[in-house]
Amino acid sequence: MSDRQTVTDDAPQEARPAYRQTPTRRALAFLRNTWRKLTSMRTALVLLFLLALAALPGALLPQWDLNAQQTEEYIAENGWWGRLLDRLQFFDVYSSVWFSAIYLLLMVSLVGCLVPRTGDYIRAMRSGPVLTPKNLARLPHHTRAEVDDDPDAVIASVRRRLRGWRVTERTEAGGARTISAERGYLRETGNLVFHFGILGIIVAFAIGAMYSYEGQVIVHADGQEFCNSGIFAYDSFNPGLQVDGTELNPFCVRVDDFEPTYTDAGQPVNYAADIRYQSGEDLASGTWRDYRLEVNAPLRTAGDRVYLLGHGYAPTFTVTWPNGESRTQTIQWRPTDLNTMLSQGATKFDPPGVTDSRTRRENQLAVTGLFAPTAAFHGNILTSSFPDLTEPAVAVDIMRGELGIDAGRSQSIFEIDQSMVDSGRLERVARENLEIGESITLDDGTQISFDGVRRWVSLQVSHDPTQGWMLGFAIAMFVGLGASLSVKRRRFWARVTPLADSTGGGTSDVRRAVVELGGLARTDQAGYGEEFTAISRDLLGRTPQD
């Protein structure tokens, strides 16, 4: 097949001076030439390079959809250059116009390459081995011998030896009998399967990007429930272009428990969450099924997958106002050091029972600071010495004033709005280290106590309807590749010419013939030599060079 490709590449465009160049014709010629160029092997090569080159910035530069915060910082640090790169979609490589263009061109080139090759392939399969060349001595493998045998018998023995080859027998004008044989068609089959597999992967990947979604949610590991009922149920959600979030597969998950295990040095050994879930008919009947969710072992249900991505701690604080009213909240804090699970967060409180919205807004409270699952103090500074929950403590600032949560802007649940602090509307009124059971009393008599800790897990729900297809195409591609790289396509010819007896007897009972054998490996030459030698030896009863 490569022969054909090569020829196309080398062939000069046929000159057709006899035709008058009408615009239509010129346009047609242009289209035809463009198509030819686009589907030539050389273009495929160049496109492959471009694809490799275009993919690279994605590994070197931060990407919006992988790490938005880092990307933002990078742009800020690099000024106009960063902004230019952003405008040129260098932080969004895989959905950029230029990446998609290369991808699309490669796909077109692939189709343009595959269609004619499939045609050639079918024709070649139908037509059988090619004619025996006139001069077998010019082939890379060749041998010649005179035998005392009847040509028919020689032909029959060649046929017998070439079992498993495709064989065509012909009689030439001069009376010589020939056999053309070919083997290794599987190589071309494999090559086609491989390239069609790639095409399938490209198409499935594009479809997948449109119809898949991914959502993350934090669930407390104390029986809290999460249902895949809409985008609002998630903390963050990345839909494909065709996903509007209205028709998610319904299922619910309840996290009962989360147990990490660590070595004595604090290296994690295992994470596992005991969950219950319901989907399909279970939703109606209210049945819950148990599952042990672990890293590397997602829950697969209702066509979606649920993953255990991370975990952390949620300290419980109770605020008791001077009027006796109290509120208790358990809000997840975010681990800032995954080795020690030192965490950071902000638990925000509204004063209860205040009707005047302005007064209420100006007397909000936030408990913010650090949480350590195993407290270690350096002087007064809290750090954590072990990731598991053994001696929890917090180091907190109590902020009072206006939190800015009513301003309509969304706010991180892990932080307070620094601009409120800067503008003086939110003030620190206390700073303290607390262990479980301890509390702080503010100047106005408000009491804040640290009551305990819960664990939380972060779950990811993934949906991708093309996954199965993808796997199928990938396997096809791989099997095709194996066949196309390991099978050797080779040809073998035999020409048996009856010898007129020159010694004078002239009778036909002297059975003599010249046998010429020739061989050609259509692909990689190496290795065919031995096989050819073996066949020759079997047929002529000796090694070729005797």
Partner 1 sequence: MPVNETLSQYSDWSYTTSVVVYLLAMIFFLVEQSFGKHGKRVAERTRERQLVGAGAGSGSDVGTVEVAKDVPPSTGRAPRTRTERLGRMGVALTILAAALHLAALVLRGLATSRVPWGNMYEYIAAITFIGVVTWLVLLRKYPLRHLSAFVLLPVVILMFVGGTMLYAVAAPLQPALQSYWLVIHVAAAAASSGVFLIPGAASILYLIRSAHDRDPVKFGRFGPKLPSADILDKVAYRTTVFAFPVFTFGILCGAVWAEAAWGRFWGWDPKETVAFVSWVIYAAYLHSRATAGWRGTRAAVINIVGFAATVFNLFFVNLVSAGLHSYAGVS
The site for partner 1 (CB under 8 A) is made up of: 2, 5-6, 9-10, 41-42, 44-45, 48-49, 51-52, 55-56, 58-60, 63, 66, 93-94, 137, 140-144, 205, 214, 263, 267-271, 294-298, 305, 307, 309, 460, 462, 464, 467, 470-471, 474-475, 477-478, 481-482, 485, 521, 524-530, 532-533, 543-545
Q: Which of 54, 61, 102, 110 touches ligand HEM (CB under 6 A)?
A: 110
Of residues 40-59, which lie at the interface with ligand HEM (CB under 6 A)?
Answer: 41, 44, 48
Nearest to 301 by CA among 86, 459, 98: 459
Question: In the chain, how many H helices and how many E strands?
Answer: 13, 23
Radius of gyration of the chain (CA): 38
Q: Does 354 bind ligand HEM (CB under 6 A)?
A: no
Q: Does 484 bind ligand HEM (CB under 6 A)?
A: yes
Sorted by sequence, the CB contacts under 8 Å of residue 387 that are 6+ apart come out as 260, 262, 266, 268, 338, 339, 340, 341, 373, 374
Residue 460 interacts with, from partner 1, ligand HEM, none (CB under 5-8 Å by kind): partner 1
Answer whether 515's CB lies under 8 Å from 540's CB: yes
Backbone torsions φ then ψ of 269, nearest 5 degrees: -110, -40
> Can you tell me the distance from the alpha carbon of 399 to that of 346, in angstroms, rounded to the nearest whole number?
10
Q: Does 198 bind ligand HEM (CB under 6 A)?
A: yes
C-beta of 85 vs 481, nearer to ligand HEM: 481
Q: Does 370 bind ligand HEM (CB under 6 A)?
A: no
Of residues 176-195, which lie at the interface with ligand HEM (CB under 6 A)?
Answer: 191, 195
Backbone torsions φ then ψ of 332, nearest 5 degrees: -65, 135
C-beta of 195 vs 495, nearer to ligand HEM: 195
Q: Does 364 bind ligand HEM (CB under 6 A)?
A: no
Q: Which of 63, 71, 109, 330 touches ligand HEM (CB under 6 A)?
A: 109
Residue 439 interacts with, from partner 1, ligand HEM, none (CB under 5-8 Å by kind): none
Answer whether 474's CB lies under 8 Å from 201's CB: yes
> Can you tell me the distance from the alpha carbon of 43 to that of 195, in angstroms, rounded to the nearest whole number?
16
Q: Does 423 bind ligand HEM (CB under 6 A)?
A: no
Answer whether 338's CB lies under 8 Å from 374's CB: no
> Can you tell me the distance from the alpha carbon of 312 to that of 320, in angstroms, rounded to the nearest whole number?
26
Residue 39 interacts with, from partner 1, ligand HEM, none (CB under 5-8 Å by kind): ligand HEM
C-beta of 106 vs 395, nearer to partner 1: 106
Report in angstroms how near the CB of residue 489 gets to ligand HEM at its nearest.
Answer: 9
Sorted by sequence, the CB contacts under 8 Å of residue 418 that are 6+ apart come out as none
> Can you tell me the distance from the alpha carbon of 343 to that of 321, in angstroms, rounded to the nearest whole number?
27
> Can you tell me the distance from the alpha carbon of 333 to that of 341, in angstroms, rounded to the nearest whole number?
10
Q: State the residues that interact with ligand HEM by CB under 6 A.
A: 1-2, 5, 39, 41, 44, 48, 106, 109-110, 113, 191, 195, 198, 484-485
